[in-house]
Amino acid sequence: MSFLKFIIKNPFRRKNSAILSIVGICIGIVVIVALGGITNGLVSTFEETIHAGGADFSISGKETGGSAYGTNTIDANWTDKIANVSGVNEAYPIYVVLTSVGDDYMNTLIGIDPNGTALADLSINEGRIFKDNASEAILGKIYAEDKGLSVGDSIKIDGEDFKIVGIYETGDSNMAGGVFTSISKVGDLMDDENSISNIYVKVDKGADPQEVADRIDAMYGDNITTVSSVMEMNQMANMLNMLQASSWGISLLAIVVGALGIINTMLMSVFERTREIGVLKAVGWSNRKILTMIVGESLVITLLSAVIGSIIGVVLCSVLCPMMGLNPLFTPYIFIQAFGIAIIVGIIGGLYPATKAVKLPPTEALRYE
Amino acid sequence: MSNIVEINNLVKTYENGHIKALNGIDLTICEGEFVSIIGPSGSGKSTLLNMLGALDLPDSGSINVAGYDLVSNKNLNVFRAQKIGFVFQLHNLIPNLSVVENIEIPMFTSKLSNSEMRSRALDLLDAVGLRDKASLKPSKLSGGERQRVAIARALANNPSIILADEPTGSLDSKTSTKILKQLIDLHRSNNVTLIIVTHDMDVANLADRVIEVLDGKLVNAGDNSLLENKINLD
Ligand SMILES: Nc1ncnc2c1ncn2[C@@H]1O[C@H](COP(=O)(O)OP(=O)(O)O)[C@@H](O)[C@H]1O
Ligand SMILES: [Mg+2]
């Protein structure tokens, strides 16, 4: 028999107590793994959104009060002015109007330059992007599903038949259920070629969006205003930071509760085996060996908990999260964290009972009834 | 014959000196000798045995066992592992380990490999006639068999001295005699010094020398001269 096998066998002598400790630590590990998976999932969706090529910020008319999708319009020549501001890489206008769409008497129709769809954070899910100035439209996936429309169908917009050429998805929830066509087509329908609603701006690579936005505000602040999506991002980032912090808080709680539980279990185990520890001393085991044995037993419990807890955490999260519209993402770091915590709890939990066992004089231990 | 135990004026007290468990003991024991210690309950027999096995330290006096000065030596666990084999009144076997695994426990202090440990443990079980019980848990054994396993465990690291504190105190007299014969045989065949604490005069008289303890003192250190003509067991 190896020393390791001896250590692994020992914690299961008191099955109920071992199981109770395992359940306790397991709960902590499940929470850490599940919360870690959810946080990671959110972070990765968030990062995808940022890096999808969406605009850094948008520009709207002063009187719209900063709403990104206001129906107030500005003059179309603002697009060229903004495009010429230093630091601006691309500037594409959108024109948002209310008109009859399909069987809806009033709905939003958004016009955008076919080349500017990436800036609006649209990604084509099916089909293609509309051609400029053509009677073609793309529908948000949510809208298309809702109305039972698909690529190839036609839809009446402002009394005119449009061909549905594509279905898009977007990280921007304001536009997920909308209908897009080219901005020149919208101008046509509205008989108004000189109005736009907003301008999407992407800054040069390496430029700070906030600085460029400030520059535009300084130059044209009397007439237009910048709506920084960076600000929304910051809010999102704050929320994620909070999630991550609470994940750490829960980890800490798990450490404290887990350590208390395991100390209790190991203390009882050491107490019950007082005579036995006396025998181990009598047959010549060193204090260090006895210490290793007890801390080892504690680690067996916590590591087993980490394995079980990780499996339960992943399974639970994979089943429940999609129901809540969340996409968990499990990275190795989460499991490193879970096992790291298990090891810390195991060592803390075993050390105190172990030192108590080691301090006991062998004769006392052997006299113990 | 050289002395394996040399004790001078050994004193051990408990409860802040109120209990004088050992009150000035002088004793020498020869290598390979079989000594029995008798005396009433509470007279200090176990305390003396614990001193010999370095399970506790004396208050004063000197004690030298198998070349180790037990007062000054700091590696008493090495001494216990290599020089001493204990047999207690209660077998003190570990319940969740098999019989053979129990015998391997002292060998964790040695450099033996797992397979060497196993084969040595099985040899020792052979010697006490329990090889066929090797894989059983101690709870499946009779009281006498458990004590024989404890004897095999005491021999695990090939000790110089076996210290047995009333090893058959909890067994009936027939089993008791059988086990003691086995222990004495092993003492002879392994040439290991054997020190037994016992209440039983029949057992005590099998020894080369009988030492009597009373109130922490030796009232009779026994006759060393009988050493040469050992009592024949059969
Ligand atoms: N650890 C201890 N703490 C307090 N008193 C003890 C301890 N060990 C032994 N004694 C006392 O020392 C005396 C001798 O005990 P012991 O050596 O066990 O006697 P014996 O083995 O001859 O029955 C007794 O009075 C006993 O109560
Ligand atoms: Mg006693």
Q: Do A128 and A42 share a structural domain?
A: no
Confidence at B215, pLDDT banded by 50, 70, 90: very high
Instruction: For A103-150, write each residue's pLDDT tens digit.
Output: 888 888 899 998 888 777 788 889 999 999 899 999 988 889 888 999
Cα A157 to Cα A137, A185, A206, A216, A256, distances in angstroms: 9, 11, 41, 35, 63
Query: What Rg value do the Cα atoms of chain B yield, rounded?
Result: 17
Query: What Rg value do the Cα atoms of chain A yield, rounded?
Result: 32
Q: Which carries the bigger pLDDT value, residue B122 or residue A204?
A: B122
What pLDDT sits at residue B196? Answer: 95
Single residue among A186, A203, A227 that ends a domain in this structure = A227
Residues paired with residue A75 on neighbouring β-strands, in sequence order: A195
What pLDDT sits at residue B228? Answer: 44
Nearest to A101 by CA among A165, A144, A152, A151: A144
Q: What is the rounded distance in angstroms from the CA atom of residue A158 to the CA atom of residue A368?
A: 94
Q: Do A183 and A85 share a structural domain?
A: yes
Residue that the structure tokens 């955008």 belong to: A112
CA quadruple B191, B192, B198, B202: dihedral, nearest 10: 0
Single residue among A178, A205, A227 that ends a domain in this structure = A227
Residues paired with residue A166 on neighbouring β-strands, in sequence order: A127, A138
Q: What is the rounded distance in angstroms from the CA atom of residue A345 to the CA atom of residue A21?
A: 11
What pLDDT sits at residue B233? Answer: 41
Domain range for A247 = 3-47+235-367
What pLDDT sits at residue A50? Answer: 52
Out of A360, A367, A369, give the residue to mutate to test ligand 1, the one with the largest number of ligand atoms within 8 Å of its CB. Answer: A367
The yes-or-no verdict on residue A366 having pLDDT over 60 is yes
Single residue among A227, A251, A271 that ends a domain in this structure = A227
What pLDDT sits at residue A67? Answer: 45
Q: Do A202 and A73 share a structural domain?
A: yes
Closest approach of B77 to chain A, Cα-based (Å): 5
In a domain, A52, yes or no: no
What pLDDT sits at residue B199? Answer: 85
Q: Which carries the bigger pLDDT value, residue B26 or residue A174?
A: B26
Q: What is the rounded distance in angstroms from the CA atom of residue B197 to the CA atom of residue B211?
A: 9
In a domain, A280, yes or no: yes
What pLDDT sits at residue A297? Answer: 93
Average pLDDT over residues B35-57: 94
Average pLDDT over residues A277-302: 94
The ligand whose atoms approach the alpha carbon of B19 most closely is 1
- So what's the ipTM on this one? 0.91
Which amino acid makes up residue A319?
A: V
> Quick check: CB of B56 below 6 Å from ligand 1?
no
Average pLDDT over residues A221-236: 68
As for how many domains chain A has, the answer is 2
The yes-or-no verdict on residue A47 having pLDDT over 90 is no
The yes-or-no verdict on residue B96 having pLDDT over 50 is yes
Lowest mean pLDDT, pick from A239-253, A311-325, B207-221:
A239-253
Cβ(A353)–Cβ(A269) under 8 Å? yes
Out of B11, B12, B46, give the residue to mutate to test ligand 1, the one with the largest number of ligand atoms within 8 Å of its CB. Answer: B46
Angle between helices A229-272 and A209-220 (to 10 degrees): 150
- Assigned token pair, A50: 């940022």
Write down all domains in chain B, each with its CATH number in brackets: 3-233 (3.40.50.300)
Lowest mean pLDDT, pick from A140-154, A208-222, B75-89, B188-202:
A208-222
Q: Which carries the bigger pLDDT value, residue B227 or residue B61?
A: B61
Q: Do A164 and A72 share a structural domain?
A: yes
Ramachandran assignment for B216, one of left (phi > 0), alpha (psi -120 to 50 degrees), beta (any other):
left
